[in-house]
Amino acid sequence: MSFDTYKIKFIANRNQILYINSVLDSYEGIGIMRTIDKAKGLVSVYSTDMQYKIVLALLSALKKEGVFIDNISVEKSEDVDNW
């Protein structure tokens, strides 16, 4: 069985990136977060085709709590080092 990798890109408040990562990590196995450019708040989360919708729901819930998350986009990609 093979899984596709999805890259979920978004912009976050750079002071909240660690918080977002900590929350994501608490849901073991749904995705791996990478900060692409901390100064600009560019963040990517890599997830599987079976889990990425959970990541999107989590990001939506964080936004409702007041965490700044903007410009969310999703693409099928395994390129983990580029925005």
Q: How far apart are CA 9 and CA 27, in angstroms?
A: 18
Q: How far apart are CA 60 and CA 64, in angstroms?
A: 6
Q: In order of start, what are the domains of the chain with their CATH numbers? A: 5-76 (3.30.70)
User: pLDDT tens digit string along 36-77?
Assistant: 999 999 999 999 999 999 999 999 999 999 999 999 999 997
Q: State the virtual CA torsion across 28, 72, 64, 37 in degrees, nearest 10.
A: 70
User: pLDDT tens digit string along 6-36?
Assistant: 999 999 999 999 999 999 999 988 999 999 9
